[in-house]
Structures are given as structure tokens and as C-alpha cells.
Chain A
Amino acid sequence: MTDEARPLRILVVEDEGVNRALLRAVIRSATRLGGTEIDEAATLSDARRLVHERAPEVVILDVRLPDGSGLELARELPAPGDPTRPHVIVMSASVLPADRTTALEAGGDVFLGKPFLPRDLIELLEGVARDR
């Protein structure tokens, strides 16, 4: 099985059910990604567990989570350069410049403000899939 054929493992960390449904629908609509495996976590603790168990390649990370900030998880991930480090897309409805800076400093690779355009996320995911 080649890399191309292997599904992209994505972890969606988002507490709002509607947003998880949206992300699921957006990712599934990205046909050019090939296969994807989507794991979902509504809390930080679930997200931590899934990062270990599933070693996702992309983490789509909400910031305001019930049991903490998604950025905590971003800080705990392996340092950049480490091949096991997933690509981190921080998504938040808090979109002040300070919020963006904090997200990127915490280890986010990209900041995507809510509401987001599905095609922006799809392009990001396609880029990750291409580069791996």
C-alpha cells in the first residue's frame, strides 16, 4: 500500500456538534483528498487520548474547549521537524490579531477563523496530503 492510497488521518477537536458535523461534511466533500479517516473529540482530554492512539496527520483544533484551551494540546505535540508531529490547523471564532498570534505561537501551523470557507480548509488539507 502506497502513501497515496493510505487515508489521511484527521483529528477534529471541536466541542460543538454542529461544527463537527460541518467539518465532517466538508472533509468528505473533498474528493481529491482520496480517503480520510476522521476521529472526533469534543474535549481536550479526549483529544489527548486520540493523539496518542491514532497518531493523526492533521489536527483541526478548536481553541475554546470545555476542559481547557485547544492550544494546550498544540503545545504538547512533538516539536516541528519531528516526523510524528501532525499538521495543526487552529480554528476559532475568536479572531482578534492577538488570538491569531497566540495560536501560532502555541504551535499552530495555520489559523482559520470561524466562520471559515470550506474550500480554504480543503485546500489546506490537500496541501498536507500532497506534501506527506
Chain B
Amino acid sequence: MPDLVLLAVEMLFGVLFAWALWAAFSQRSVLARDVTLVFTPLAALLGTTFVTQVAEAIGNRDITLPLWLTVPTILLLTAQPVFSLKLIADLRPLPRWLLPGTLGAVIVTGALLVATLPEPPAAALLAVVGVFVAGQVLAAGYLADEARHRSGGARIRLLLAAASTAAIGVALFVLGAMSAAGTTSELGSALVRWIALAAAAGYWIAFLPPRWLREQWLAGAAFRHAERLLAAPPSATAIDLWNDLANTAHDLTGAGSVVLVERDGGLAATAAAGIASDDLPTYGPGALEALIAGDESAPSTAHDLRARSGRDFLIAVPMSRDGRPVGAVCLLRSHASLFDADDAALVSRLAARSAYLVQRREALAEEQRLTEQLRLTVEALEAAGAAKSDFLASMSHELRTPLNAIIGFSELMVADDPESDMVTVPREWIDHIRNGGAHLVGLINDVLDLAKIEAGRLELVRVPVDVGLAVAESVAGLRPLADRKKQTIRVSAASQLIEADPGRLRQILYNLLSNAIKYTGEGGQIQVDAARVDGEIQIAVRDSGVGISAEDQLRVFEEFRQVGDPTARQAGTGLGLALTKRLLQAHDGRIHLRSAPGEGSTFTAVLPVGRPATGSASPAQEPDGREPDGATVLIIEDDPSSVRLLQTYLADSGYQVAVAADGETGLRMAVEDPPVAILLDILLPKIDGWEVLRRLKSEPTVRDVPVVIVTVVDERNVGLALGAVDYFVKPIEREALLARLARHTFLAKVRTRPVGIVAIDDDPAALDMIDATLSPYGFAIHRAGSGQLGLDLAAAVRPDLVICDLLMPGLDGFEVVRRLHEDPATSTIPILVLTAHGLTEAEKARLNGQILGVVDKGDSAALRLREWLARVLPDIAKAPVE
């Protein structure tokens, strides 16, 4: 009966091995073929035994198989150690001589055996068995050694393979020993058959394990990994988790290097084991797909990874998220592996776990971040609420303090004699009331400004402003205060144009300066420096006052904070510095404070220079920097060569030119699109120039357009009488025409839009006078405190008029006029000279043809300026626009 069972099992293995043989060869891989070769001798042995047994059962007698069948089987069996070592050579390095040596020994002993068949001598048998057993033991040893470096399923499989290899050696040793002894015992051959069967089973499990067993090994390893992952500290980052995965894959698969690549734009190595991940490059788009598909077309990621790791074998295990590949775990080995499929399945499972955990961590981190954000938001809201209450309480307090004086003293005045219409009260009381009122107004203005800034409704009108001048004006305005405290104020502020809101800049300077005066004692020193540093303007106000302690330095910019020695508290709204800071911020500037108690304070306002720094055309204007669109001059002239000449002159000066070849067309064009000036010829086809002029002057829409007659007919008085503003007899002098035209178009422009004026004077009082005189008429006055600044300002803002003083330090007025005239950008701007200096004939000659007029500065300069204005602009000078 046991024979029958044995027989059935042998048959089963025979079938399995035959199937395995076929399957292995169909894979066409060297490794699979070598595995199959290990199976072959066993399959042959079991096959022949099976055939013998069946034949004996049928014939009911002992059968000796024919030699042609037994000899190949025996030879195949003796070659088993060679096959085993060949497989191991695929998996790990072996001494070079080992495989050929074993092969040689097997061939020699096999030949000896075959030659002495059918009755080989015991010595031959012993030699064959000796070589076989030695080979098998070596192979088993190498397999066991390889198992030491692996874990999990791979180790079990390698140990099984080692045991099976050793078992086959033992079986043959028993067989050889029996043959040599010449005894054949039933027990011995049964033992051999059982050992062979066990070895076959061992090989089978090692090399072709059933699915459920693989699953078992995988699950075990994956579970241990998951446990480790879950035990990872909460502080572990995604990178930590991926590194853990790489290390686990490294340990479990025995791969020499493991690289985890993730798609992140390109394909980058996020973790690695057995290789430094820092040195790995980021691969281009599409690298992941090629890697997973095993696409080796150069330059491939796989190729690069193999080269960098120095290992020849790579398997890429894809990682995916939401069904899309997002990365891969690359296992790199120096030698082929028996268990690639299992390794890939295991790593894939581990990667999925890690990915899940990473995602969970990310979600948790995001949740934590949101919670933190929410907490901060709530805190900020609470702080804002508290700040608002504080502000209101402070505001109430600050309003009540001046009101106390106003109400108290006025009540006292009334109480002094309730019956009388006239009361006599101490002068001091009135001063207190007035000061209280002024204080309240200042406070309310500051609060309104702050509120505007808070609401984002502060509108800055940024125009080119001279910082040097603004500083000088602020100092001049506050000097009486400083004089009262016998303080000296020194100013070092060069003329420098910046783009800022002039009113706000003054407010900033006033606040800083008045603070300096307030917090500096009698006889103290105040120094104001304005300079350009790294493309910014720094205005530093340094005082020799009480100074501010470090802890107070941040708080000085808070609303309603007066810091420092409270006994030295000064009158003030407590809003000045808060407002100053905000105003600077609104200008994209900032404020610094450097101070120490007892050593004074330096407040430094930093402002960006803005656009005027370029000193050239303002961007609002045409790229060629001349007259903006719409400054069209209409030429009514039938002679093409005259037209061409005039066109060239005008276009060079930046005018747009429209041309009409006859009077009718000219009239129509003038009415349809009124030009800034008309150049009119007299001798025209159809209607002549006189008639055109008459009709222009009777047409309300174009009546005010200045007409300049340009003709060969010398009838100057007729022309002017008919309403022409100027009369040129051909040939025309270019400069004269342009200068006159500039003047006339200027006057025309004044009637239609606000006109910009650059006023150049080193005396702020004179600038104030010009400003005060001309601003009410709607002129926009740009103030320049020096000749150079005036030139810069004129080039930057392209004003319609320049008013210039003659006597100035540095560039004097003559030079300014000359340069304005020479610079093509400013040559057409009319210039009015305002001077206290009686002009000599030589000087008049210098200015001749370059200026619009001269106004005497003297005592009644404002009056004279108004008179001049009335003369050149009779309509406008009558009606100030407030």
C-alpha cells in the first residue's frame, strides 16, 4: 500500500515537473531555464522510477530498464550539482573556477561510470558519488548563505532550496553507498525515494510556490511593515515615511539599492536605501511611464539608475494614486533575482500602505494647519475688537480733554456776569479755549485721515515734488516754534525730485519736525537730512531730545501713545506718528526709528523716488515725449512745398498736423475737430484767406482758436484787425514761428484745460507767492527750488509754462532758459522770467527770442503777475476758479 501512495506522489511530481519544464522554457529567460535545469535530473529520476514501477506492476516481475534509458538519467543526475551551481552563479558571485571545475569533475567521473557500465567498479561509483555530494553540499551552502541576506518568504524559499539540494546529495550518497556495498535493501531504496520526493517537494515550494503560500508570506511581511508604519512618531514627515518604505523594501527584497521616485513636475527621487538619494537627478516628463513600461530607449531613467547604482538589474514597481501612476519603487540588484514577481507584489503592497499613510498625514497636517489658521483668525478678530474698543475709549478721552478747557472756560465767561452783553475775562481763558479748539480740529483731522487710510480711501495725488524744497518749507513753517525754545535746526537737503503727494509729504515732514521740537528741550539741536540712498529718499530728522527706550520704540507708532517720561508729556493728538507711518506706507515708503533714552531720537522717513527719477518724459505722454494727442495744428495752404515745409517744422516740435488745400475744406476741418492753432495762407483757390479768417471768427466753436497768417501778402494790420493773432510773411523763420505758435497754443490750452506751470525759484516765499497768485485760476503749480530741479521738473512734467527767477545759486536763470531752449524736449515751452534784477541790455539780448516776457518781482510781484496774466489771458484772469 505505501508503495502505491509513493507511486501516486511520484506520478504527481512527474506531471508537475513536466509542466514546470514547459512553463520555464516558454519564459525564455536565462534564470527560468537555469531553474528548470535544476528540476530536470529529479524529473528524469522520478520519471524512470515511475516507468519501472508501472512496468513491474503490469509484468508482475522485476524489470531492469534498458541502458539507453538508465544511462542518460544517471548522467543527468550526476550533472545536478553543475545545474545547482549554475543557478546560484546567476544569483550571486561564485569563484570563477568553481563552475568549470565541477563540470570537469562531473564529466570525468560520468565518463568513468559510463565506460565501466553495466558493472562499474566501486571506486568509479565512489568517485561519481563523491563529486556529486561535494557539489550539492557546496550549492546548498551557497543557497543557505544567500538566505541569510534575505528575509520573509525569500529566506524560506532559499533555505528550502538549500535543504532540498543537500537532501538530493544525501539520497545519492545512500544510493552510492549501497551500490558500493553491493547490497540492495528494500529499506534503502524506499529511503532514497522518500528523500528524493521530499527534495522535489522542497524545490517545488522554493521555486514554484503555490499562490496561497506566496500570499501567506506577502501578508506576513506587509503586516509587519504596516505595524511599523503605524508606530511611526507623529512628527514623521512624508519623506520619513517614504525612506522607511525604501529601507523596508531594501531589507525584505535584498535588493542592493532601492530608489523611490515620485512625479513632482519631473520625476524626482524622494527616498532611497543603499544609495544616496541626494545625488540623484530629476528626470524629465514621461520618465515615469517609460520606467514602468520598461522602455529602455535612451536616455532612459532605468539606464541612468543602473549606471548610478552600479547594479545591472532593475525592477520598477509602480505606485499609483486614484488610478494614476504617481511614482515607482525601483529595486536595483547586482544579480538576477529568483523572486522578482513576489518582490514586486510585496513592494507594491507596502507602497500602497505607505501612500495611504502619507495621505492621511497630509490630511491631518492640512487639518491642523486650518485649525491653526482659524485660531489665529479668531485671535486677530478678538484683538481687532479689543483694539477698536481701546481706540474708542482713547478717542473719547482725547476729545474730552480739550473740550474740558473749551466748556469750562466758556462757562466761566458766561458765569462771570450772566446779565451783561459784554464780559471782561482774562486773556488766558480765550487762549485756552482757542488752543483747545485748535487741538480738537487737529485731532479730528488726524482721525479722519487715519479712517481714510484704514478704509483704503486715501487718494494720493502723486506728482513730482522737490524733497529739498518741501523740507525747507516745513522747517521754515516750524522755525518760530523752535526759536521760542531757542533750538537750532540745521538742514541738509539737496533738491531732489520724487513722486509723492505734496500735501501728504508736508504732513509727514510737519509731524516729524514738530515732534522733534516738542520732545527736545530748550537750546537743543535738530538736524534734518534728506538724501538719496539706494534709489530711495531718506529724510532723517534727528533731535537731541529725551530719546525713547527700546521697549517704547515700537509703541510710539501706535495710536494714542505718548511714551517715555510721562512728566514730559506734550500736547498732541497721539496720532501723529501713527498717521505718519501710514502715510509713508501709502507712498510705498516706511519709517525707522533709532533712539536711546537721553541720546535723542532719529526718525527716518524712507520714500521711493518713483518715476521722476528718470528725469525724462512722463509716461502719460507720447513716447516721442512731445505734445500729447490732440495738439493738432491745421494748415490751410494750397502750395504743396509750403505745406511740406510747415509740416516738417511742426512735426519736429511734436505737433500733429492736419492739412487743408483750400479754404472750404479748412473751415470744415476746423469745425469738425478744432485744432489748437491754424496756420492760414491768404492766397487760396475759391475763397481766399481773409474770408476764411472772417468765417472762423464768426463760428462760435472755433472763434477762440488762434489763427496765424503765413503768407507772401504783407498786409499785417488787416490780418490782425480781422482777428489773426500773428502774421508771418514768407519766407518764414522756423524758430520765430515755433516760438509764437507755442505761445498761442499755450494761451489756447489755458482756455480748455488746467495748465501746468513749473515755477523755479530758490526763495520759497517767491514760490508761495506764485502758487497763491496762480492756483486760484486753476493752474497746477509745480515748485522747483533750484535751476537744476526746474530743468528736471520741466522735462518730467512738460508744463505749459515755466516761470523762472534769474538770480539763483548754482544754475542761474539765464542758464536755465538757455538749457530749456536747447533741450528738444522743452524747447517749445514758453518761459516767463520773474526777476527783481533790472535787466541790462546785454542780458535782454541774451534772453531775446527765448522768453515770453519778464515780470518784475519787487514788492508787488503778485500784483504784477496778475497784471501780466490779465494781459495775456484777459478772459481767465477775471474769474478765479476756487
Seen from chain A, the residues whose Cβ lies within 8 Å of a Cβ on chain B are: 15-16, 18-19, 21-22, 25-26, 29, 42-43, 64-67, 93-96, 113-119
Contacts and interface: CB of A to CB of B under 8 A. Distances in A.
Given A114-B403, A115-B406, A115-B407, A95 B396 contact: yes
What 3 A-B pairs have minimum CB-CB distances, sorted nearest first? A66-B566, A93-B400, A115-B404
Given A18-B436, A25-B408, 4 more contacts: A15-B567, A25-B429, A42-B567, A66-B569
A118 B566 contact: no
B550 interface: no
Contacts of A96: 393, 396
Most buried by B among A113, A115, A116: A115
A118 B393 contact: no
Contact of B408 (A26, A64, A66, A95): A26
Contacts of A116: 404, 407-408
Contacts of A19: 401, 404-405, 408
B416 interface: yes
A115 B432 contact: no
A127 to B, nearest CB: 18
Interface string B560-591: 00000111010000000000000000000000
B403 A22 contact: no
A107 B459 CA distance: 51
Interface string B404-443: 1111110110011000000000101100100110000000
A46 to B, nearest CB: 10
A64 B566 CA distance: 10
Contact of B415 (A65, A67, A119): A119
A19 B426 CA distance: 15
Nearest to A25: B412
Contacts of A64: 397
27 contacts: A16-B401, A18-B432, A18-B435, A19-B401, A21-B432, A22-B404, A22-B405, A22-B412, A22-B432, A25-B412, A26-B412, A64-B397, A67-B566, A93-B397, A93-B404, A94-B393, A95-B396, A96-B396, A114-B404, A115-B403, A115-B404, A115-B407, A116-B404, A117-B411, A118-B411, A119-B411, A119-B415
Given A25-B429, A43-B567, A93-B396, A18 B415 contact: no
A19 B403 CA distance: 10
Given A21-B428, A66-B567, A94-B393, A29 B415 contact: yes
A50 B397 CA distance: 27
Nearest to B411: A118
Nearest to A98: B393
B69 to A, nearest CB: 114
Nearest to A66: B566
A115 B405 CA distance: 7
A65 B406 CA distance: 21
Interface in B47-89: none
Contacts of B404: 18-19, 22, 93, 114-116
A42 B393 CA distance: 23
B407 A117 contact: yes
A118 B397 contact: no
Interface residues of B, number: 27
B282 to A, nearest CB: 64
Nearest to A117: B411
Contacts of B408: 19, 22, 25-26, 115-116, 118
A118 B411 CA distance: 7
Given A19-B405, A93-B396, A67 B567 contact: yes
Contacts of B429: 25
B400 A113 contact: yes
A61 B411 CA distance: 21
Given A25-B412, A29-B416, A119-B411, A18 B397 contact: no
A42 B568 CA distance: 11
A66 B403 CA distance: 20
A97 B406 CA distance: 24
Nearest to B566: A66
Interface in B625-652: none
A48 to B, nearest CB: 15
Contacts of B393: 94, 96
A25 B401 contact: no
Contacts of A67: 566-567
Contacts of B428: 21
A5 B259 CA distance: 104
B151 to A, nearest CB: 73
B412 A114 contact: no
Contacts of B401: 16, 19, 93, 114
Contacts of B426: 25
A79 B83 CA distance: 112
Given A66-B569, A93-B396, A29 B405 contact: no
A2 to B, nearest CB: 28
Nearest to A93: B400
Nearest to B439: A18
Interface string B255-273: 0000000000000000000
B412 A118 contact: yes
A65 B567 CA distance: 8
Contacts of A93: 396-398, 400-401, 404
A94 B400 CA distance: 8
Nearest to A114: B404
Nearest to B569: A66
A18 B411 CA distance: 15
Contacts of A95: 396, 400
Contacts of B432: 18, 21-22
Nearest to A92: B397
A68 to B, nearest CB: 9
A22 B425 CA distance: 13
Nearest to B425: A25
A85 to B, nearest CB: 27
Contact of B405 (A18, A42, A119): A18
A31 to B, nearest CB: 11
A114 B400 contact: yes
Nearest to A67: B566
A61 to B, nearest CB: 15
Nearest to A22: B408
Given A18-B436, A66-B566, A96-B393, A29 B412 contact: yes
Contacts of B406: 115
Interface string B384-407: 000000000100111011011111
Most buried by A among B404, B405, B406, B569: B404
Contacts of A18: 404-405, 432, 435-436
B426 to A, nearest CB: 8
Most buried by A among B398, B412, B436, B565: B412
Given A18-B436, A22-B409, A26-B408, A118 B415 contact: yes
Contacts of B396: 93-96
A44 to B, nearest CB: 10
A94 to B, nearest CB: 5
A91 B801 CA distance: 61
A115 B412 contact: no
Nearest to B567: A66
Contacts of A115: 400, 403-408
B247 to A, nearest CB: 64
Interface in B838-869: none
A15 B562 CA distance: 14
Nearest to A46: B567
A29 B423 CA distance: 14
A64 B436 CA distance: 19
Contacts of A43: 567
Contacts of B436: 18
A10 to B, nearest CB: 16
Nearest to A121: B408
A9 B644 CA distance: 99
A96 B389 CA distance: 11
Interface string B536-569: 0000000000000000000000000000011101
A67 B567 CA distance: 7
